[in-house]
Structure 1
Amino acid sequence: MRYRNQISIFLLAALMLPSLHLEAQGGLKLAKKIVKKVQKLFTDSRSLEDVYLLEGSRVVGTDPSFLVRQSEFPDYHFNLFSDFVVGEYDLNPETGLPRSETGFSHYQNEISAAGEKVNIVQAAKDMNPRINILLLLSYRSDYGQSKEYSSFYTNNFFDNKNRSQDSLIQRLQSTFTKWKEVYNIPEDRIGVVLDFQGLPKNKKLQQQFPNLVDRLKSEGLLVYVKLPIDFTTSGFFSDAKTLAAVEKSADLFLLNSYSYDIPNPAAYDCSSPTDMRTLEATLLTVREKNLIPIEKLVVEFPGFGRAVTRDEAGFSFQTNVAHGTIVDQHALQPTTAIQYIDSAQYAYAHFSDPYTEGHIYCFEDSTTLSAKLHWLIDGKLAAGVGFWGVGFMEEGQGIVNKDKWWWAIAEVAGKPKSKVGWIYASFFFLFASLGYIYSIFEYWQVRNILAKYSNIFWDHTMRFAIFFLVCLVCFNILPRNTVGLLFCGIVLGIFIVMRIIKRYTAKVRKYSRYAERF
């Protein structure tokens, strides 16, 4: 280029001109600002709001009516959920309508958030447009004045004698029509979770329940089914034919990892709501007998803990207690020592009570939860995880660090969004590395030079390797952490050492030929 030197001098002078008008201190401040802005472009966010779920990850959150009523949902990280279950439609088998209209409508309660009034369904949809929103449809099998009446109404509902199933379908249709029209939720992201765990083991009901699942599925709904933790050994769902018939239409199964049954040990010990022994046995049976496809199985954890107390006579008592209740009533502080047993399967802390002595609170904290999530997902024992009582995770700040709780989920099922600087750098180094390959295939002159001069070939190869490795790091294919950087360093080190050896041997050959002349 004829005027290349003149243009270079002109550009250099133009870039240096502003510095003549800046004091040394002012220039330093400007440089610091520029460096900080550049750092922000490349510093990955450590905010939970900037984490997204990995493709195929299943994380199901559930908030029953009483937690929705407490309006904790503005602090939920809906971006970490693939599915969210709200409310509950507690079934009246006689009519097919909710037993409590007030409890059913709690999900519609609105609170002010970011200057607007929203309910939990709107909040979930706004934060995560791809989230599935489902309604909890439960049946407790305790309707009627006695056990005999309960069985009568249960049979009538599944027989649809009073057209109670029709009433249920109509009510669900009207509810979900509002969800689609008012909240703009796509039709294929709406459904129900059938929590019918208390059904008696009855052949007639075991034949009719799959029909209910089929009918709900024919309405275009997502249908999830909750299973008790010991379903493989006893109860309604232990029948393999029933389970196989349900599996044909059900989209997902939620397996409780916990039980509401309270053990009463004679000795003072810690009993977590998460029954790991039964859970391990159940998952082993599911896998060995192929009862449910792994891609349809989600293991659900409780948001509450269990308090174990002992009175003066030495008797132990256990109760399921929310984190917030323990903190409020027993003043557990952030400094309260958390201890672990059974290889970090259980976390517990001692608390005080004016009426009893020597008792502990067992719960899931971020350490135990993270270990269990990795055990499930990495071991391919389940397709995902669920959490019953998400509102409990927002309570009890003295004993449960909610941010660590959420991060335990994010580290297993999510990934932080890359900053724009990494995106720009990724494509720059991608095209730069592809440019080397393109030049070899496109131009015969390049191929000839590389074939003729080995030193140019090695320089070309090393530059390509550097650009390509940096590209992989920028795309986070090679993790941007110590392991990734160490791997890059080793590979680049090998290339550099090889290049040094190559140059050294070339010099040796050169001087040896020179010496031979004399």
Structure 2
Amino acid sequence: MLAAIPMESIQSQTVMDRVSKRFLKKNRVKKYGKRLVNMGKDPDLIDMAVRNEFEVIGFEPSWMIESGAFDDHYFNLLTTLVVGEYDINPTTGDTRSRSSYRSQFDKLRRDKTAKQEFNIIQKADFHNPTINVLMHMTYYGDYGRQAKQREYAGLLLKEGEVRKTLKDSIQSYFLELENDYGIPERRSGIVLDLQLENSFYNEDFVDFISFLRTELGDDHLIYLKIPAKVRKDALIPFDIINQIEPFVDRFIVQGYGFEKYSRTYSPLVIFDPESSYSIDGTIANYMVPGFEKIIPEKFIVELPWYGVIFKQDQDGNFLLKEGSPYITLDDFNKDIKGRSGTISYKNNNTMAYYVDNDTRTAYLIEDSLSLVSKYIYLVDSLGMNGFAVNALGYYANPDSRRGENWAAIADNFGEKREKIGWVIAYYLAAFLPIGFVYSVIRYWEVRNALAKFTKYWNRFRIFFILSLVIFMICLGFMPRYILVIVGLIIMAGFFVYIMVKKAMMRSKKYVNIVK
């Protein structure tokens, strides 16, 4: 007895099998379910970007690059990356450590998104195609004999051959960025970090900055790192700042180090409008009539992502720990937090304070809560356009997803990035309603059918409204999860249609029995 099965039944079953195999795989169900669970929660940090009105600068020194710490950085939450370092030999102008300078190019880490190995510049550019890349150029007065430091500083600022070598090295760096990594002139530059005696901030210093601007051109960025007023003779005089201002794109105030000069235990960073030895006091020194408008445009404060340790002596006083008195937030959370004390916040949450009673040790930590207070204070109270972060690698982002320090930037100064898929989608979706309108205007047959037949007019209205909704969703005027809901409804309707069709076909006599 032979049975002839109609092709419609076979086709409907084949379609059903294909759909089920495609959409009901274990990994797909898990992925889509995860997206639905996360819907409405805070967006992933990778989907965020700094808003246009703010600037966030991140420093990453060579030893952190070598450790591979940049593997977990959210470069999309930076506007400028400072990599280093080019530690200047003051007698030649060349770098003192070729390996430290080349680490930004040579150290590779596999990127999870791109699925290929990147150095820090490639990774930053891949995740943030508009990021600025600046080379950190340092001179800390630790070269050669201590007795000859004034001579070395003079050579660095005035010697012609030293200047030429330095200029050639910088231009070679810019050329490598552009030719090998596609970083154009407007996104490349240098950060000068010259820690000189106060007497060297003179006309020679002004001439040195002017020379670099002339040789490098106006298209490249020049940032200058300047000290905060941690002691009486720390500041660069205002008249020098005023003279070099036309040559400098940003002044980065090193906003930490106050603990070294305090008689009692003190945080790394001090905000105090009543004290001249604070960030407020530093900025106040440059609030000169005619210059005050430059402050919000060009001044940015650099803050740390770590803490400082104080030990209690026999008299009960807390003194700066001898040796290395600093601790990263990661190490604090892992090794110290929760022992025998609790974190408390003082001075309007600008200082996280923790005392370990068992070891008679005090910690002043920069965590996400204290940092947010500082960031907001810089922007709202001091009128700045952003801030800088010292040594991004001090925070290793332990959960590799939504680290607190990165979230502090994203939640207060970020916005969700417009993905290229949505940009393409709303351009394509715009043709749907436009096409409906065009067909009515262009073809009399369409107008006649809509006017004559009610069913066509009803269908036209439904699909026209649906096309407008899709366009507005893609454009962002309506929540995009609506598109997911609409898609699920359409899929559910499709499954129902197939099941109903199968049931109807079974109820008919579709098998011819051949005897």
1:341 has 2:341 as partner: no
Which of 87, 107, 110 is the aligned partner of 1:110?
A: 107
C-alpha separation between the residues in 1 aligned to 2:44 and 2:297? 29
Q: 1:40 to 1:101 in 2, by over 3 A?
A: closer
Q: Which residue type is aligned with residue 83 of structure 1?
A: T
C-alpha separation between the residues in 2 aligned to 1:415 and 1:119? 27
C-alpha separation between the residues in 1 aligned to 2:476 and 2:281? 38
Q: 1:362 to 1:127 in 2, by over 3 A?
A: same
Q: 1:160 to 1:333 in 2, by over 3 A?
A: same
Q: Please list the CA deviations of residues 136-174 of structure 1 after superposition, one character each: whole Å capped at 9, or x if unmatched.
A: 011113433134x2111221222224x011011112222
Q: Please list the CA deviations of residues 218-255 of structure 1 after superposition, one character each: whole Å capped at 9, or x if unmatched.
A: 38521001111129974462132x21221101111111
Greater shift, 256-265 or 130-139, is seen at 256-265
C-alpha separation between the residues in 2 aligned to 1:418 and 1:103? 36
Matched with 1:143 is: 143
Aligned residues: 429
Question: Aligned runs of 1:194-209 on 2, under 5 Å?
Answer: 194-202=192-200, 203-209=202-208
Q: 1:112 to 1:343 in 2, by over 3 A?
A: closer
Note the residue ranges of structure 1 that are not aligned, 5 or more in a row.
1-17, 435-467, 481-518
Matched with 2:55 is: 58
C-alpha separation between the residues in 2 aligned to 1:184 and 1:103? 22
Q: Which residue type is aligned with residue 131 of structure 2?
A: I
How far does residue 471 in structure 1 lie from its aligned partner after superposition? 10
How far does residue 332 in structure 1 lie from its aligned partner after superposition? 3.2
Q: Please list the CA deviations of residues 252-299 of structure 1 after superposition, one character each: whole Å capped at 9, or x if unmatched.
A: 111122126514545xx5x22112121122334444542534121211
1:272 has 2:267 as partner: yes
Matched with 2:410 is: 410
Q: 1:328 to 1:375 in 2, by over 3 A?
A: closer
Which of 163, 166, 179 is the aligned partner of 2:164?
A: 166
Q: Please list the CA deviations of residues 111-133 of structure 1 after superposition, one character each: whole Å capped at 9, or x if unmatched.
A: 33145332211211121111110
Greater shift, 179-188 or 126-135, is seen at 179-188
Contact 1:87 1:136 (8 Å CA) reproduced: yes
How far does residue 191 in structure 1 lie from its aligned partner after superposition? 0.8
Q: 1:420 to 1:231 in 2, by over 3 A?
A: same
Matched with 2:226 is: 227
C-alpha separation between the residues in 1 aligned to 2:382 and 2:263? 33
Q: 1:426 to 1:338 in 2, by over 3 A?
A: farther
C-alpha separation between the residues in 2 aligned to 1:420 and 1:189? 22
Q: Which residue type is aligned with residue 91 of structure 1?
A: I
Greater shift, 177-186 or 309-318, is seen at 309-318
Matched with 1:153 is: 152
1:300 has 2:305 as partner: no
Q: Which residue type is aligned with residue 165 of structure 2?
A: S
Q: Which residue type is aligned with residue 197 of structure 1?
A: Q
What TM-score comes out, normalization by structure 2 length? Answer: 0.68
Matched with 2:174 is: 176
C-alpha separation between the residues in 1 aligned to 2:315 and 2:336? 25
C-alpha separation between the residues in 2 aligned to 1:136 and 1:196? 10
C-alpha separation between the residues in 2 aligned to 1:107 and 1:39? 36
Q: 1:394 to 1:117 in 2, by over 3 A?
A: same
Q: Please list the CA deviations of residues 420-477 of structure 1 after superposition, one character each: whole Å capped at 9, or x if unmatched.
A: 999899999999999xxxxxxxxxxxxxxxxxxxxxxxxxxxxxxxxx9x99999778
Matched with 1:88 is: 85
Matched with 2:189 is: 191
| Partner SS for 1:340 | strand
C-alpha separation between the residues in 1 aligned to 2:120 and 2:34? 36
C-alpha separation between the residues in 2 aligned to 1:221 and 1:232? 33
Note the residue ranges of structure 2 that are not aligned, 5 or more in a row.
1-11, 273-277, 435-467, 481-515
C-alpha separation between the residues in 2 aligned to 1:477 and 1:351? 52
Q: Please list the CA deviations of residues 377-420 of structure 1 after superposition, one character each: whole Å capped at 9, or x if unmatched.
A: 2346212110011001216x59x997121111112321013689
Contact 1:348 1:363 (8 Å CA) reproduced: yes
1:214 has 2:213 as partner: yes
Q: Which residue type is aligned with residue 392 of structure 2?
A: V
Q: 1:424 to 1:151 in 2, by over 3 A?
A: closer
RMSD of Structure 2 on Structure 1 (CA): 4.7
Contact 1:51 1:410 (8 Å CA) reproduced: yes
Contact 1:347 1:362 (8 Å CA) reproduced: yes
C-alpha separation between the residues in 2 aligned to 1:471 and 1:351? 58
Q: Which residue type is aligned with residue 383 of structure 2?
A: L
1:376 has 2:378 as partner: yes
Greater shift, 124-133 or 310-319, is seen at 310-319
How far does residue 135 in structure 1 lie from its aligned partner after superposition? 0.6
C-alpha separation between the residues in 1 aligned to 2:389 and 2:157? 29
Q: Which residue type is aligned with residue 131 of structure 1?
A: I
Matched with 2:256 is: 258
Contact 2:227 2:235 (8 Å CA) reproduced: no
Q: 1:431 to 1:339 in 2, by over 3 A?
A: farther
Q: Which residue type is aligned with residue 354 of structure 2?
A: A
Greater shift, 116-125 or 277-286, is seen at 277-286
Contact 2:306 2:365 (8 Å CA) reproduced: yes
| Partner SS for 1:129 | coil
| Partner SS for 1:237 | coil
Contact 1:274 1:301 (8 Å CA) reproduced: yes
Greater shift, 333-342 or 422-431, is seen at 422-431
What TM-score comes out, normalization by structure 1 length? Answer: 0.68
Identity of paired residues, percent?
25
| Partner SS for 1:322 | strand
Contact 1:199 1:236 (8 Å CA) reproduced: no
Contact 1:306 1:361 (8 Å CA) reproduced: yes
C-alpha separation between the residues in 2 aligned to 1:473 and 1:377? 33
Q: Please list the CA deviations of residues 72-92 of structure 1 after superposition, one character each: whole Å capped at 9, or x if unmatched.
A: 001000011110001111111
| Partner SS for 2:124 | helix
Contact 1:394 1:402 (8 Å CA) reproduced: no
Which of 41, 48, 52 is the aligned partner of 2:45?
A: 48
Matched with 1:69 is: 66
Q: Please list the CA deviations of residues 452-503 of structure 1 after superposition, one character each: whole Å capped at 9, or x if unmatched.
A: xxxxxxxxxxxxxxxx9x99999778999xxxxxxxxxxxxxxxxxxxxxxx
Matched with 1:323 is: 328
C-alpha separation between the residues in 2 aligned to 1:218 and 1:193? 15
Q: Please list the CA deviations of residues 8-30 of structure 1 after superposition, one character each: whole Å capped at 9, or x if unmatched.
A: xxxxxxxxxx9xx99xxx9xx99
Contact 2:186 2:221 (8 Å CA) reproduced: yes
Contact 1:58 1:383 (8 Å CA) reproduced: yes
